[in-house]
Amino acid sequence: MLLFTPGPTPVPENIRQAMAKETIHHRTPEFSKIFKEARELLLELLKTDEVVMLSSSGTGAMEASVTNLCHKKALTINAGKFGDRFGKICKAHNIEHIELKYDWDTPCDVDEVERVVKENSDIDAIFLQICESSGGLRHPVEEVAKRVKEIRDDIIVVADGITAVGVEPIDTTNIDALIAGSQKALMLPPGLAMIGLSQRAIEKIGSGKGFYFNLANELKKQKDATTAFTPATTIIIGLREILKEIKKYGFEYLYEETSKRALATREALKAIGLKIYPKKPANSMTAIFDENAEEIRNILKTRYGVNIAGGQEHLKGKLFRINHMGLIKPYEAAWVVNAIERALDDIGRLKYSGIANKIFNELIK
């Protein structure tokens, strides 16, 4: 079965092998060496001043960013489940917040963000996704960050890049915290979250907040190539391997291949009459709005060996999402668009001609 869900993504064979070795103790020079190398590679990928790794899923890093980086009032951008989650985290910690809500296919409005930030002088941190995975939407994060900093340069900009880091180059000039997760574009098992931090973010963190997710504590330890608590050693071993592997070809190569695949998939699917859901699609996935989404997904799974994701909440049964993250073989991605065309024939929507596969292959060259 081809796993084409936008997280988790398949773990390459050589990375699985690297993680299959005997467990090593984390308080040893051997592990410290691995940790240090993983950290350095991560900094090259994130292009931030510092980085902390946390043993948690991505949401742990979202929570740590809220608790450590917002001291007064948060502005959260909600165009889907993950943006909504930032608001829920604020609520859980009794942190005052204003939420700007958008339809799941609509990127946030930079002017509206500017207006709210100007009207609320106590907003000291803004939280948004780079790609909101619920609808495969790309928010204009760079513009938001720039505009917000022009108003008050001490506002902390937290970008959830869980489905953007490793997908496209991210301009971190005005971003203070950049969140990544292991099971999406980094092609690793779930369980490790990472936050790239700017110098300004480090100053704002001060002595940190909370216990397990105290970022000051963690950062201090991690700069010394160790961690405050038992780290996810296996995934960190995998992280070092995958980053070394990506670096062999260059990060740019990964971004270009992902972008080509995303474009080719979108064009192939448009050619067979499918509707791209978001107004501004991200390159991490293609989200298709379709009344027969469930039926198509079922056929893909049972007849063509392809596993893609559906929609959530109000889009359940109306959306399907195809992953583009990671080092994906073009022939696998070509099979996916071909299988979708065959599924459309199976439900009587069209007569199969192989046009999706043809367009995909022309564009992927």
Smallest distance, ligand PLP to C-beta of residue 267, A: 24
Per DSSP (E only), the strands in the chain are: 2-3, 50-54, 73-78, 96-101, 123-129, 131-132, 137-138, 156-160, 177-181, 193-197, 275-276, 285-289, 306-307, 309-310, 319-323
- Does residue 58 touch ligand PLP according to CB under 6 A? yes
User: CB under 6 A: which stretch of 35-43, 53-61, 96-104, 291-299 binds ligand PLP?
Assistant: 53-61
Which pairs with CB-CB distance under 8 Å and at least 24 residues apart come from 36-39?
Answer: 36/225, 37/240, 38/236, 38/239, 38/240, 38/243, 39/222, 39/225
- What gap in Å lies between CA 268 and CA 355, rounded to an integer? 7
The string over 119-144, giving b where at least 16 C-beta atoms fall within 10 Å of a residue's C-beta and e elsewhere, is eeeebbbbbbbbbbbbbbbbbbbbeb
Smallest distance, ligand PLP to C-beta of residue 58, A: 3
- What gap in Å lies between CA 184 and CA 332, rounded to an integer? 18
- Binders of ligand PLP among 77-106, rule CB under 6 A? 82
- What gap in Å lies between CA 321 and CA 234, rounded to an integer? 29
Would you say 57 or 307 has its CB closer to ligand PLP? 57
Structure tokens at 4: 């084409």
Structure tokens at 156: 């902390």
User: CB under 6 A: which stretch of 35-43, 54-62, 95-103, 323-331 binds ligand PLP?
Assistant: 54-62
Helix ranges, 47-80 (H): 58-69
- What gap in Å lies between CA 277 and CA 359, rounded to an integer? 20
User: CB under 6 A: which stretch of 155-163, 216-224, 246-254, 347-355 binds ligand PLP?
Assistant: 155-163
Selected from 181, 231, 238, 278, the binder of ligand PLP by CB under 6 A is 181
- Does residue 187 touch ligand PLP according to CB under 6 A? no
Would you say 141 or 343 has its CB closer to ligand PLP? 141
- Does residue 166 touch ligand PLP according to CB under 6 A? no
User: For the chain, how far is it from start to end, CA to CA, in angstroms?
Assistant: 25
Convert residues 124-143 into a mask of x (bound to ligand PLP by CB under 6 A) and - (unbound): -----x---x----------
- Does residue 59 touch ligand PLP according to CB under 6 A? yes
Smallest distance, ligand PLP to C-beta of residue 6, A: 7
Query: Site size for ligand PLP, by CB under 6 A?
Result: 12
Q: Kindly give the interhelix angle for 233-249 and 251-271, rounded to the nearest 10 degrees.
A: 80
How much of the chain is in helix, strand and coil states, percent to nearest 5?
A: 45, 15, 40
- Binders of ligand PLP among 269-328, rule CB under 6 A? none
- Tell me which amino acid residue 125 is: A
Would you say 97 or 184 has its CB closer to ligand PLP? 184
Smallest distance, ligand PLP to C-beta of residue 284, A: 8
Would you say 15 or 165 has its CB closer to ligand PLP? 165
Smallest distance, ligand PLP to C-beta of residue 178, A: 12
Would you say 140 or 330 has its CB closer to ligand PLP? 140
- Does residue 7 touch ligand PLP according to CB under 6 A? yes
Smallest distance, ligand PLP to C-beta of residue 22, A: 27
- The site for ligand PLP (CB under 6 A) is made up of 7, 57-59, 82, 129, 133, 160, 162-163, 181, 184
